[in-house]
Amino acid sequence: MKEKGFNIYEGSLGKLVDTKNQKYEFKYCLPNKDFPPNIHEFEIVIVDLSNEDTIDYKKEDHTRTVNKTEVDNYLECRHPQTIFDPRGFASKFLVKGIKEILKRECIIIVFQNENINIEYKLVKKNGDHSKLLTRNKYSLYEFMPIFPFKQNKFGKETEVIIKNNEFGNFLEKYNSDFTYENIYHYPTVWDNEEQILDPRFHPILKNKSDEIISFTYFDDKLRLYLFPILEDNSDFILEFLQSIAPTAHPSLFPNSNQKKWTNKTEYALPNHLNLLNEKELIFKEYQRKIKQKEIEIEENLKKYGFLHDIITETGDKLVAAVINFLEWLGFENVIDMDTQATKIKEEDIQIENEKGLLIIEVKGIGGTSKDSECSQISKIKYRRAKERGKFDVFGLYIVNHQRHLPAIERENPPFTEEQKNDALNDERSLLTTWQLFNLYYDIQNEIITKEEAREVIYNYGLISFIPQNIELIGTVDEIFLKGEVFILKINDVKLKTGNYLFIEKNNSFRKLKIIGLKLNDDTVEEISNGEIGIKVNSKVSKKSKVWIKNTYPSTNI
C-alpha cells in the first residue's frame, strides 16, 4: 500500500502474549497497543481482528520505566489463564479516536474474528501481591460504531448477496477464500412511529442458511465495511482501495481517475430521480410487509409452539405442552396435578369425564423407557380406583424418548414386545409424543377426527391413531400416469366418483379423493365389482393398501 502512494500508519490493538503461567502464578501485564497520536486526522481505518500473532512474555516489556504519575496499575493475568489478549482492552480505548474520526467522512474496514468478551482485572502492583481495583469485560468489537451481533458461528461456505455490479463482482472474485466466525441480525429503526429495517444497513454476504455474515453500514459520514476472514487479505484490501472505494466514495479519493461524478443529482438522466423515488417507496412497502410477516410468524410460533415442546422438552415444560395438546384435542377438565396442593401428586395429569378418570404420567428421557417406568402408571391406577371405589380409571404413559435426537431418527415405537404385551394385560396404555405430533397433522388432513382420537386414547396397549371404521379393499399392483391412476379388483364394494379412499404405505395413511373411475376403458360414475382403474388427486405407489370408510347398517333386534 505504501508503494501505491497511501499514507500509512501501521498501528495495533496489541499482540497476544504467552505468559506460560504455571499453577498459582500470575503476571503483571501492560497493553501493547499502538495508536497514532494524530488518529483524528486519518480518514481510513483498517482493523484486522483475525490477526492473532502471539509473542512470549518478557518482564521488561510489562514494567513501567517512565511514569509521570504515582499510578502503578497493571492488568493481571493469573493461572489458569496463560494467554494475555490485550485487544478487547485496547478496543475500548480506540472508541475515543473513532469518535473523532467520525466527525467527518471516513471509511472503517474490519476483518472479523470470533466475538469474545475478555475479562480484565485492573490491579495495583504490590510486590508479589496485588490489590484488585476493577474487573471488566470488553469485546474485540468495542470500537465499532454499530455491531448487530447475533451469535458466534463458524463456516466456510459463503454467498454474495449483491449481484451484477462492480462491488458484487469484486466480492465474487474472493468468495471461495472467505471464512466467517459470526452471524448478524438486521437492525431496525423507528420511522414515523413505525419500526422498520435500518436502510443504512446492507447485507453483502450470507451463509448457506441465509444468515448475514458480512455487511456495510453507510451513515451521513461513516462508511463501515465488515468483511469475513481471508488468510491473506493484502491483495483484497489493495484492490478494494484502488478500484472499489474510489467509485463508491469519490470525495475521499480526490486524485482517483475512477470517480463517478455523473452519479450526482445535477447530472441525473431523464426519469432517473423519479425511478429512484419509486424504488424507495417499494423498499419501504417491502419493509412494512416483512415486519408484518415477522409478527405473524412470531404469533404462530407462540400459538403452536407446544407441538415442538412435546418432542423436545422434559419436566414441567413437557407436561404443560402435553396439556396444551390434550386441550386442543378437545379434552375438558384437564388438570395439571402440580397445581393441586391438597392431593398426592403421583401422576402428572388427570382428566375426568363420563368415561371415568384418565390418569397420565409424562416423561422426557434421553433413551427409551425401562419396564418399571412403563408400568408405574398401573400402581397409580389401582390406587385411584381404590380411592374411588370403582374401576373406571384408565392409565396412560406418555414418553418423549431419545429427546436429544431428531424425532424422525428415533426408535419408533420405543417399546419392547414385552412392554406392549404387559400394557395390554395390565389394561393400561402406551404413547409417544412423536405420535401426538403426527396426530395433529393427521387430524388436519382428515385421516382421523378429534373425537375418534379421544376415543382411541382409552385403548389398551400401544395406542395407534389410524383411521377408524375402515375396510381393506385391496392392494395396488399396477400404476399408470406416474401413480395418479392405479388398478384395483373389487368385489361387492361400492365406489363412486367424489368418494374418499385411505391409502396406507409403511403404516402411514393418506386420504385421497376419487376423481375418475374406469371399467373396460369406459368412464363410470359408480361401480361395485370388477377390475377397475381409479384416478385420484395424488400419486400412489405400488404395494400400497387401499381402505374405504365402513358404513354399518342398522340392525333390528
Residue-wise pLDDT tens digits, 468-490:
888 898 888 888 888 889 988 88
Secondary structure of residue 515 in the 3-state scheme: strand
Quote the CA–CA distance of 262 and 297 in Å, as a whole number.
Answer: 44
- Round the average pLDDT of the chain to a whole number and report it: 89
Q: What amino acid is encoded at 414 in this protein?
A: P
Beta strand residue intervals within 422-464, DSSP E: 429-432, 461-462
Question: Which H, E and C letters describe 6-17, residue by residue?
Answer: CCCCCCECCCEE
Q: What is the pLDDT averaged over residues 344-350?
A: 83
Choose the weakest-confidence range: 113-117, 297-301, 319-323, 343-347: 343-347
Q: What is the pLDDT of residues 203-257, one digit of tens each?
A: 999 999 999 999 999 998 999 999 999 988 999 999 999 889 988 888 888 766 4
pLDDT of 506? 84
Residues whose CB is less than 8 angstroms from the CB of residue 225 and which lie 6 or more positions away in sequence, other chains included: 107, 108, 109, 110, 216
Q: What is the pLDDT averaged over residues 490-519?
A: 89
Q: Are strands 106-111 and 222-227 parallel, antiparallel or unpaired?
A: parallel
Q: Which residues pair with 552 in a beta bridge?
A: none
pLDDT of 522? 86
Q: Is the pLDDT of residue 317 over 60?
A: yes
Quote the CA–CA distance of 280 and 284 in Å, as a whole number.
Answer: 6
In the sheet that holds 349-353, the strands lie side by side as 334-336, 349-353, 356-364, 393-400, 429-432, 461-462
Bigger pLDDT: 312 vs 163: 312
Quote the CA–CA distance of 11 and 14 in Å, as a whole number.
Answer: 9
Q: What is the pLDDT averaged over residues 66-79?
A: 80
**Which stretch, 14-23, 261-270, 522-531, has highest mean pLDDT?**
14-23
pLDDT of 67? 67
pLDDT of 528? 86
pLDDT band with cut points at 50, 70 and 90 for residue 553: very low
Q: Is the pLDDT of residue 552 over 60?
A: no
DSSP structure string for 497-557: TT-EEEEEETTEEEEEEEEEEEETTEEESEEEEEEEEEEESS---TT-EEEEE--PPP---
Q: What is the pLDDT averaged over residues 488-493?
A: 86
Percentage of the chain beyond pLDDT 90 is 61
Element holding 328 (H helix, E strand): helix 315-328
Report the alpha-carbon angle 548-552-557, nearest 5: 165
Quote the CA–CA distance of 357 and 340 in Å, as a whole number.
Answer: 16
pLDDT of 554? 36
Q: Is the pLDDT of residue 334 over 90?
A: yes
The cell for 215 is: 455487511
Q: Residue 151 class from Cβ within 10 Å (0-12 exposed, 13-18 middle, 19+ buried)? A: exposed
Choose the weakest-confidence range: 247-256, 352-361, 376-385: 247-256
Q: Which residues pair with 222 in a beta bridge?
A: 106
pLDDT band with cut points at 50, 70 and 90 for residue 557: very low
Q: Are strands 334-336 and 349-353 parallel, antiparallel or unpaired?
A: antiparallel
pLDDT of 266? 83
Q: What is the pLDDT of residues 408-454, one digit of tens each?
A: 999 999 999 999 999 999 999 999 999 999 999 999 999 999 999 99
Asked if residue 187 lies in contact with residue 201, where contact means CB atoms within 8 angstroms, the answer is yes
Q: Is the pLDDT of residue 261 over 80?
A: no
Quote the CA–CA distance of 300 and 512 in Å, as a whole number.
Answer: 28
pLDDT of 69? 66
Q: Is the pLDDT of residue 325 over 50?
A: yes
pLDDT of 112? 95
Name the residue with cell 514494567.
63
Q: Is the pLDDT of residue 555 over 50?
A: no
Element holding 516 (H helix, E strand): strand 508-519
Percentage of the chain beyond pLDDT 70 is 95
The cell for 322 is: 402435553
Quote the CA–CA distance of 422 and 25 in Å, as a whole number.
Answer: 63
pLDDT band with cut points at 50, 70 and 90 for residue 151: very high
Name the residue with cell 375438558.
332
pLDDT of 64? 80
The cell for 371 is: 419396564
Residues in the chain: 557
Report the C-alpha dihedral over residues 171, 172, 178, 179, rounded to 10 degrees.
Answer: 100
pLDDT of 479? 87
Q: What is the pLDDT of residues 26-72, one digit of tens each?
A: 888 999 899 999 999 999 999 999 888 899 999 988 988 776 666 77
Quote the CA–CA distance of 381 and 396 in Å, as a whole number.
Answer: 9
